[in-house]
Amino acid sequence: MIDPQAGAAHAADASTTAQELDPLQVHFQDGIAPDEIEQVFHLKRAQPMLSAFTALFHGTQDGVLVRLLVLRELAGDASTSAFSRADINQKLAYLVPESLETVLNRLRGHGLLAWDAPAAVYRITPLARNVLSALETLLALGKPEGDEAEMGFLLSQVAGAQAVGGVTVDQLKHLLGRLVELTEEFRDAIASGSEFRLRTSQAKWHMACDWVEKGSVILRAITSDERADAATHRAAQAIGRAQSALLNMQGMFSRALNQIERQRVHLGQSGLSTTDVKRWLLAHDDLASLAAGAIDRPVTPLFGTPAEMIDVAETELLAERIISTGPKGLPSGQDAPLTINDNPAMQLELNDWINKLADFANLGNFPEFSSVGPRRVQLHESLLPATFALASYRASLLPLLGDASEASLQGATAELARLPLTFVSLDEMVQLNDPEVAAMSVATLSLNADPTPDGQPAP
């Protein structure tokens, strides 16, 4: 028979034993060993380096500054590799002896300073020089503000690792993450519609493009390196895609700024816009100081008591009642003004032209034909006599004769298209004895219907 209480006690003892063996276990869930996490393994392997950083940066900010000061002063002296205590006291004479002694003991206890007992001198350890080298790179690139320092440091790490053949996927992922963050930041700035935020982000975008250009050289070296593994190649390709997305945002910035430029509000004829006013206001740290001397006397507040409120409300109510009791109903009707529709002169000419062509189609009087007259007439005989403008207008309408698409419509031109006439022209000219028209193309107008023996068109 299994005792549940005995099993629980055994599990508790096992958990307590695991925590005693690995103090890190208290931060993890039950049943999960810290050594099973890949990142924990890498961090534990770098424990000496982490201990060095702990020795430098654990404690107050003042203590951190003094430790870095002492270590940088000693490591910066390249004339010697060993320092006696007298040399250290002379070099750092501006420090209090007690503080100097505390810093030396801490640095020596964590392996940043080595004590050479036979020679009675201190030496800078290789670990300390590695730590200072990393800090110097970060401090040197930290002089510019914000993203320029971050991008510069990340690229310098990747470039340095690539130069010695030791670039890691984690270093590439840090750079990729920063590029993605910048892209999202720029997209948010464009979506905000704020001109000032857009211009600030655009300036940052130009800075990022400079770093992208430098990073492209490093990425080409990584992708062409045969020693790089598949994960490194994938990370480099992802960085390339992120850089392309970043470079493609130039058009988005331009369109957003052009839209703001079109919507800019100008203040009268002064040439100033609301953007100029806002920029001028932002240039002043204390906006309240702008009102100094602008007000001659204090503002006198006016208070309304209930009695005044009732009087005002009563006045407004009565005024509304008077308006509502005024004359009502629709106004009396009025006759609409008479207008005379004068048809344009060209419309009259068109109607007259259609009537004459209709008479010709019926063997009427254009031109004067007898019942046995011809069913074909020369073009100049049908268009003239007329002025040059009228003859040109008539000639421009002749191609509509027999046009099926035009005949299916309504109107004067559709009526013209339905006439049983055929217009035929030749590439020749005929000289005319007319005061308006000197020459005209040789063309004819003929009836479409077959003639009957009596000379009339077939029905």
Residues of the chain with pLDDT under 50: 1-2, 4-12, 14-19, 144, 363-370, 373, 450-459
Please give the backbone phi and psi of residue 166, each rounded to the nearest 5 degrees, phi first.
-130, 30
The predicted pLDDT at position 273 comes to: 74
- For 106, other C-beta atoms within 10 Å of its C-beta total 19
Mean pLDDT of the chain: 76
The predicted pLDDT at position 389 comes to: 85
For the stretch 398-419, pLDDT in tens is: 888 888 888 888 888 888 888 8
Using an 8 Å Cβ cutoff, are 419 and 347 in contact?
no
275: three-class secondary structure by DSSP: helix
Question: Alpha helix locations (H) across 294-397?
Answer: 306-324, 345-361, 379-383, 388-397
- Name the CATH architecture for the domain at 45-133: Orthogonal Bundle (1.10)
The predicted pLDDT at position 345 comes to: 65
Using an 8 Å Cβ cutoff, are 382 and 366 in contact?
yes
**What are the structural domain ranges in the chain?**
45-133, 142-260, 345-447
Write the burial class of residue 167 (CB in 10 Å: 0-12 exposed, 13-18 middle, 19+ buried): buried
List, as one string, the DSSP characters of 113-154. EEEETTTTEEEE-HHHHHHHHHHHHHHHHTSS-THHHHHHHH
The predicted pLDDT at position 8 comes to: 44
Instruction: Could you list the beta-strand ranges (E) of 247-303.
Output: none
Q: What is the C-alpha to C-alpha distance for residues 154 and 148, in angstroms, rounded to an integer?
A: 10
Q: CA geometry: angle at 65 spanning 62 and 66, to 5°?
A: 90
Please give the backbone phi and psi of residue 82, each rounded to the nearest 5 degrees, phi first.
-135, 145
Q: What is the C-alpha to C-alpha distance for residues 1 and 4, in angstroms, rounded to an integer?
A: 10
454: three-class secondary structure by DSSP: coil
Question: How is residue 412 written in tokens?
Answer: 């004067």
- Residue whose tokens read 């203040």: 267
Q: What is the C-alpha to C-alpha distance for residues 259 and 40, in angstroms, rounded to an integer?
A: 51
Using an 8 Å Cβ cutoff, are 149 and 109 in contact?
no
For the stretch 41-72, pLDDT in tens is: 877 887 877 888 888 888 888 888 888 888 88
77: three-class secondary structure by DSSP: coil
